[in-house]
Structure 1
């Protein structure tokens, strides 16, 4: 049976490769004359950052682009242009966005990713985000061979493990996806980046068995995420952010700001993609239990949930029902989608961040926690996966939880009057962790690899 599965998976991988060549044959012919020719100065070479998704919602890939231009290089961003870009990339004279077209509403015509090669210039290096892997990996291999350019694959997670959260590990397509990622991951890149040491170790072992170089590039906060310690600045920022998030109107804003700054109301923040790999029910259940507990030991809460995704509307309906039924007494939950500037400011004025990320692979890490630390915000985070300890240090910069009961206990402890000292200690730890910045990490790991930083 194992042999049959292997043969089937290998055949399907071959089909993916063949289909890629078949669909791209008319385009690929045009690439042959435009092979990469080195520029006299490496900083005049183009480095391309490829995202088969919304570039504006891919912060790590935007940070790659920012690091390239900060070091004097030229960068081309290729991906869907749905959300605003990082403000430092907009109109930058050394950064260009090549948007992929939207899928036609009729469903007819060429799928948008089929125009991806036409967006590629003759670049020295392509940095590609993974996942998704299909069709990214085999198409990137074809293009890099014809272009004569290098490929740096940035492994954020595994496509097969994300798929397995809805289809199950034993699903045939999930197994095929795993075979695809393993096979093309071995032969495609010039080198690989991973978000954790645990992922790097895993990629060197079966079924991946990578032999190409692997470098761990830990996520670090960008400069836009900074603590706000000055009391006057904190007050002004809090008022601005609450207004931007439509939390309060002109008559209720000032009392709300005063209550939060005095500690009479606690402000917690969670950012979510509203997808199955982040179980928002955990937070809702914890908040219901918090509201139904001993009110003498707790403070009222304002919870602001940022982000957008497929399950957002359903959860907003559930929040409305729970509120109407009186099960969230003393708790106000607001959802918002903020600009990166307002989001960074919100993190800086909150009391506690909550991260619901459940690693599908066990070896990735949530970038949202990195941003929270950058803003000096301690974190309560789901902890039942291998790489958790690479970022969050229990009792130093945050706390872990595995169940709604655990989370409710953390909220009750840290947000009570008795928990002020512990929360302040965790905040100091978050500020210290946040001192490690993306630019320093990128220059150390990637800058030397791409030739923009001297060894």
Structure 2
């Protein structure tokens, strides 16, 4: 009996000793990152994106703002596409790639999603823990993009507790509301995800959110006591208007997608409509297709309506499904006055496309009702007027109806707006002037007094 107790005690002590040695190192406020010898060390910040860094513009803007103000940044996320060139070239920014989960764990089938979901989460937990606790040096702050919430918030909370790091959550939306798009709002997993989000978000020192409406939800429904700071999305410096109409046409006619329509663009017989989509269920692309069908039918009989070149950017799971629908419609001659093309552009060319197009379209429907589409912010930054789905609470925080954009709630309404704007250049130019005024509101102007102040950088 005594020998058994001794063996148990030995095993327990061995495990405890091993755990102590394996505990991640803690942040030391007296030491400067990267060996800096300055008496006032740089602020060190980790930014966690459980997604493609290149497709996370807001988190990239955070990184650039921190670095430009003297902070040191490690961005942790998937390296599926190239981030902003300034991210790659800045000496104060490093990228820590997360190992992607096996492709077999990705599925759109609801039954398989419930089976594969836990396996995917376990894989992500291991990868995240390795990056946050061991691969990276301990930092003063950890800024986490939310959603996704699972498993980010739990892993980040534990890592910050052990490393004496301050956690800040940047709320773009709610994880449970996005999950509800796949499983329905009444599904037990969605209810569990909501409780998970409410519990682990309370470990944060502070919170950023993209709208005032979201702040109200976090305050009232999530019962958060820590500071909740609205930090509205604003365009980065590479989005800027092109004031010369000839310069816009010149850029458009250089694009491979637009070269065949060069004569129509130069003569003014064609307008360029641009939309950026993730090709997911929360952006119903069929709304735009139906509106373009209606427009094409009207344009064949109304000579004042120009042709439309619709350039769609972005990648996502439903892209091929919609492209097949478009091919069928084109073959049937139902898009006679409309040409739809997809494009994948560099950061600088995308910004120029927005500045050169006639009108932007946002199909973002908002799973929570209190988030906003970043694409509209970019369009305004380029001085591009916008029409967008407006049936959610936060829309008026971004678009001033009739001044810089217009909202719609159906394909019929969108078609009417296209006819109204493309049939009357004065109305379209009035919206462009409003969008150009909106372009003066920049990311740094919003970030410095809010995030910069919190992080001790401004």
TM-score range, shorter chain: 0.7 to 0.9
Gaps of 5+ in 1: 1-24
Q: 1:35 to 1:412 in 2, by over 3 A?
A: same
Partners of 1:42 and 1:373 lie apart in 2 by: 39
CA contact (8 A) 1:376 1:430 kept: yes
The Cα shift of 1:233 comes to 3.2
Q: Is the 8 Å Cα contact of residues 54 and 81 (structure 1) preserved in structure 2?
A: yes
Paired with 1:42 and 1:142, the residues of 2 have a C-alpha distance of 28
Tell me, in whole angstroms, the C-alpha distance in 2 between the residues paired with 1:428 and 1:194: 29
Please, which of 403, 416, 425 is the counterpart of residue 430 of structure 2?
425
Q: Does residue 1:367 correspond to 2:365, yes or no?
A: no
1:379 aligns with 2:386: yes
- Which residue in 2 is equivalent to 1:183? 199
Cα offset for 1:106? Answer: 7.2
1:214 to 202, 205, 228: 228
Match of residue 189, structure 2, among 168, 173, 197: 173
The residue number in structure 2 matching 1:53 is 51
Corresponding residue of 2:271: 266
Match of 2:82, SS?
Answer: coil
Matches within 5 A, 1:191-206: 191-206=206-221
Indicate which of 345, 353, 357 corresponds to 2:352.
345
Q: Secondary structure, in 3 states, of the residue corresponding to 2:87?
A: coil
Task: Measure how far apart 1:36 and its partner are.
Answer: 3.5
Q: How far apart are the structure 2 equivalents of 1:114 and 1:156?
A: 24
Instruction: Give the C-alpha shift of residue 115 in structure 1.
Output: 2.3
Q: How does 1:203-352 map to 2 (within 5 A)?
A: 203-206=218-221, 208-240=222-254, 242-243=255-256, 246-248=257-259, 252=260, 256-293=261-298, 294-352=301-359
Q: Is the 8 A contact 1:27 1:118 kept in 2?
A: no
Q: Across the two proteins, how many residue pairs are aligned to each other?
A: 416
TM-score with structure 1 setting the length: 0.88
d(CA) in 1 for partners of 2:101, 2:282? 25
Deviation string, structure 1 residues 146-182 (Cα, Å, up to 9, x no partner): 0001011000000111111221111100111111111
Q: CA–CA distance in 2 between the matches of 1:351 and 1:106?
A: 41
- Per the normalisation by structure 2, the TM-score is 0.87
One of 57, 62, 65 as aligned partner of 1:64: 62
Q: Which runs of 5+ in 2 are unaligned?
A: 1-16, 33-37, 106-118
Does residue 35 of structure 1 match 2:27? yes
Rounded Cα–Cα distance in structure 2 between residues aligned with 1:28 and 1:49: 26
- CA drift of 1:41 comes to 5.3
Q: Verify the 8 A CA contact 1:36 1:149 in the aligned structure 2.
A: no
Aligned residue runs from structure 1 range 90-239, under 5 A: 90-104=88-102, 111-119=123-131, 120-185=136-201, 187-206=202-221, 208-239=222-253
Over alpha carbons, which structure has the higher Rg? 2
